[in-house]
Amino acid sequence: MKAFGIETFGGSPELRDLPLPEPGPGEVRLRIAACGLNFADLLMIEGKYQERPEPPLTLGMEPAGWVDAVGPGVTGPAPGTRVAVHAPCGGLAEYGCFPAARCVPLPDAMPFDDAAAFQVAYGTSHVALDHKARLQPGETLLVLGAAGGVGLTAVEIGKRMGARVIACARGADKLATAEAAGADHLIDSEAGDLRGAIKALGGADVVYDPVGGEQFDAAFRATNPDGRILAIGFASGTVPQIKANHLLVKNLSVMGLYWGGYLKFRPEVLTSSLATLFGWYQEGGLRPHISYRLPLARTEEALTLLRARKSTGKVVVRVSGEA
Q: What are the angstrom distances between the C-alpha of 46 and each of 12, 25, 54, 68?
A: 10, 30, 12, 31
Spatial CA neighbour of 128 closest among 144, 147, 106 = 144
What sign for the dihedral angle of Cα 60, 62, 68, 74? positive
Q: What is the pLDDT of residues 162-177, one digit of tens each?
A: 999 999 999 999 999 9
Sheet with 14-17, side-by-side order of all strands? 14-17, 2-6, 57-58
Which band of pLDDT confidence, cut at 50, 70 and 90, is reported for residue 321? low
Q: Supply the pLDDT for residue 95.
A: 98
Higher pLDDT, 199 or 313: 199
Q: Supply the pLDDT for residue 50.
A: 82
List, in sequence order, the alpha helices (H) in 55-128.
112-116, 119-126
Helices 119-126 and 267-282: crossing angle in degrees, nearest 10, is 110
Q: Supply the pLDDT for residue 184.
A: 98
CA distance 292 to 222: 34
Q: Supply the pLDDT for residue 209.
A: 97
CA distance 128 to 107: 24
**Mean pLDDT value of segment 260-265:** 86
Q: What is the pLDDT of residues 41-73, one digit of tens each?
A: 999 999 988 888 899 999 999 999 999 999 999
Residue 6: pLDDT over 70: yes
Residue 323: pLDDT over 60: no
Q: Supply the pLDDT for residue 281.
A: 93
**Mean pLDDT value of segment 182-210:** 96
CA dihedral 320, 42, 206, 197 (to 10 degrees): -110
Q: Supply the pLDDT for residue 322.
A: 64
CA distance 124 to 173: 24
Amino acid at 34: A
Peptide bond before 25: cis, by omega within 30 degrees of 0?
Answer: no
Q: Supply the pLDDT for residue 174.
A: 94
Q: Supply the pLDDT for residue 309.
A: 86
The partner residues of 255 in beta bridges, in order of sequence, read 230
- Report residue 182 CA to chain centroid gap: 18
Walk me through the domains of the chain, giving residue ranges and CATH numbers: 2-118+288-318 (3.90.180.10), 121-260 (3.40.50.720)
Query: Which 8-state DSSP code applies to residue 313?
Result: B
φ/ψ (deg, to 5) at 200? -65, -20
Percent of the chain with pLDDT over 70: 99
Q: Supply the pLDDT for residue 51.
A: 82
CA distance 319 to 95: 9
Residue 271: pLDDT over 90: no
Pairing assessment for the beta strands 95-99 and 103-105 based on DSSP bridges? unpaired
Contact 225, 246 (CB under 8 A): no
* DSSP reduced 3-state for 160: helix
